[in-house]
Amino acid sequence: MGVRNDGEWLGRLTAAYNAKKTIEEILASEKPIHSELYKHYATSLRRAVEMVYHEGGGEHLKANTNRFAAYKAYQATQIVRHSPDTAAATLAQFHAWQHTECATATARARTAKQWSVYMQADNLRLFPNLKWLPSTSVTQREEHRRFYHRVWAKNDPFWVSNTPGSLWRCKCGMQECADAVTDNTDVPEFTPPAGLEGNPGITGEIFTDKAGYIVRTGEKGREVVEQFLREQIEAAKPVEIRKFDEIIENIKFDKIEYNEVKNHSKQPTETEIIERIGGGDLTKGSCSSLAFAYAGNKCGYDVLDFRGGNSCLIFSRHYNIKDIAKKAGCIISKNGNDFTNAVNLIKQTEKGKEYYFTSGRHAAIIRKIDNGYEYLELQDTKDNGFKPLTEAALKERFKAKKSHTFLGEKYEVEEVLIDLELFKKDDSFRELLGYINTNKDRQLKGEKGKIK
């Protein structure tokens, strides 16, 4: 998908790399990360992503590779400083790995970009399945040969952790199709190498936290690296930057239509807000964007939802929700049990406040009241409003589960809680809502809609 064939860029970066000077500077300094070494690693990895996103976009993937590069530069700096006699060999090895890491970054970026296209509404309707295409490499590895020419539905759990790019220097491909799903019951399980877990189109990650550079960095080292990254981000920021500007820029690259959000001439009551934005859902599921629309109305903005399409998809993706939440200043709970996550978050609410809340497969506004908690239903054809937030509601409405497993292995999930007051503190939230805001005559809601 839109990959440029430019094999010279890494060679040019290599020519500009001076190992001898780098070693001298590391040994003469006490800084935990050699900044130029970081820039060398980060630039080549970022360029590897841009080979795919050469027309813009993929900023979250580039941020991920920056983080990977920082941990790599930290490891290289520490090893050179503590073992100066083998410093040249160390940097040579790290540099050799860079070629493999860049090739893999391009492969995984390609998968992420393809996935974002393949999961659009029209594509899902026309081509509900995905076929695994064989590697173009002369030497084809057995780990992926088992998948060649096989077809799975796009919503099959297989694609959560198995995609082209889940091996180092992978040259496999995938193609959406309307071909019949193959019998895949005999396909052996596959465990990706550490650091390449998950579908990058879902996780938004090129490299995961299980990557060796990160795993081998202790707690104190991680604090150093994360502080270094914050300083790098701060240094790159313009004088004035709003919380959601980066997210807005990413959405622009996805070509989502912008519909300006204006202030209410008169602030509507809570009941009026619920009545004007709620209704039977005719989209694929707008719970998340509806909750953001409610928050916008509470901030004084005249915003409606039920747009559907790519707008709905963007604001329902878990990694986008986490990104918005972190930018706003949220509370996060991570656990394998959805009910435990919910309790951890709900107990931090305060009476008199409202919150954006995720749990299981649902997002909603919640609040604390005298005798318990409530969640806001906005997708019913007639009966919208605040309902009791009980264990039964978490199970039935939010589809909360006591555990999550994939291929027999349990895993943890992250859920978020955002105080709606935080959205009032940055004008960029209104601009963000412009990618949700829908003209009344174009809303996909009505009597034939249903709760999703």
User: Last residue of some domain: 212, 236, 260?
Assistant: 236
Per residue of the chain (452 residues), give pLDDT as tens.
333 344 444 444 444 457 888 999 999 999 999 999 999 999 899 999 999 998 888 999 999 999 999 999 999 999 999 999 999 999 999 998 999 999 999 999 999 999 999 999 999 999 999 999 999 998 999 999 999 999 999 999 999 999 999 999 999 999 999 999 999 999 998 999 999 999 999 999 999 999 999 999 999 999 999 999 999 888 876 555 688 988 888 888 778 899 999 999 999 999 999 999 999 999 999 999 999 999 999 999 999 999 999 999 999 988 899 999 999 999 999 999 999 999 999 999 999 999 999 999 999 999 999 999 999 999 999 999 999 999 999 999 999 999 998 888 889 999 999 999 999 888 899 999 999 999 999 999 998 988 98
Give the tens place of pLDDT for each residue, 391-434.
Answer: 999 999 999 999 998 888 889 999 999 999 999 888 899 999 99
Residues 206 and 277 placed together within one structural domain of the fold? no
Residues 284 and 231 placed together within one structural domain of the fold? no
**H or E segment to which residue 297 belongs:** helix 287-298
DSSP bridge partners of 372: 369
pLDDT of 4: 37
Residues 148 and 76 placed together within one structural domain of the fold? yes
Residues 323 and 225 placed together within one structural domain of the fold? no
Q: DSSP code of 268?
A: P
pTM: 0.54
User: Last residue of some domain: 179, 212, 236?
Assistant: 236
How many structural domains does the chain have?
2
Separation between Cα atoms, residue 250 and residue 314, nearest integer Å: 10
Q: DSSP code of 307?
A: -
Per the CB < 8 A criterion, the answer to whether 268 and 300 are in contact is: no
Asked whether residue 32 is assigned to any structural domain, the reply reads yes
Kindly report the number of other CB atoms within 10 A of residue 182's CB atom.
14
Asked whether residue 158 is assigned to any structural domain, the reply reads yes
User: Last residue of some domain: 236, 260, 293?
Assistant: 236
Separation between Cα atoms, residue 406 and residue 239, nearest integer Å: 45
The gap from C-alpha 1 to its chain's centroid, in whole angstroms, comes to: 19
- Domain interval for residue 285: 245-442
Asked whether residue 2 is assigned to any structural domain, the reply reads no
Give the tens place of pLDDT for each residue, 236-247.
Answer: 765 556 889 888
| Side-chain-side CA neighbours of residue 111 (13 Å) | 34
Asked whether residue 4 is assigned to any structural domain, the reply reads no
Coil, strand, or helix at residue 356?
Answer: strand
Asked whether residue 325 is assigned to any structural domain, the reply reads yes
Residues 44 and 168 placed together within one structural domain of the fold? yes
Asked whether residue 340 is assigned to any structural domain, the reply reads yes
Q: DSSP code of 422?
A: G
Give the tens place of pLDDT for each residue, 364-396.
Answer: 999 999 999 999 999 999 999 999 999 999 999
Residues 393 and 259 placed together within one structural domain of the fold? yes
Residues 437 and 302 placed together within one structural domain of the fold? yes
Residues 274 and 213 placed together within one structural domain of the fold? no
Residues 231 and 370 placed together within one structural domain of the fold? no
Residues 156 and 278 placed together within one structural domain of the fold? no
What's at 149, amino acid-wise? Answer: H
pLDDT of 238: 58
Q: Is 194 exposed, middle or buried (0-12, 13-18, 19+ CB in 10 A)?
A: middle
| Side-chain-side CA neighbours of residue 329 (13 Å) | 11
Residue 332 phi, psi dihedral angles, 5° rounding: -120, 140
Asked whether residue 169 is assigned to any structural domain, the reply reads yes
Residues 197 and 263 placed together within one structural domain of the fold? no
Asked whether residue 103 is assigned to any structural domain, the reply reads yes
Residues 270 and 176 placed together within one structural domain of the fold? no
Separation between Cα atoms, residue 229 and residue 242, nearest integer Å: 19
What's at 4, amino acid-wise? Answer: R
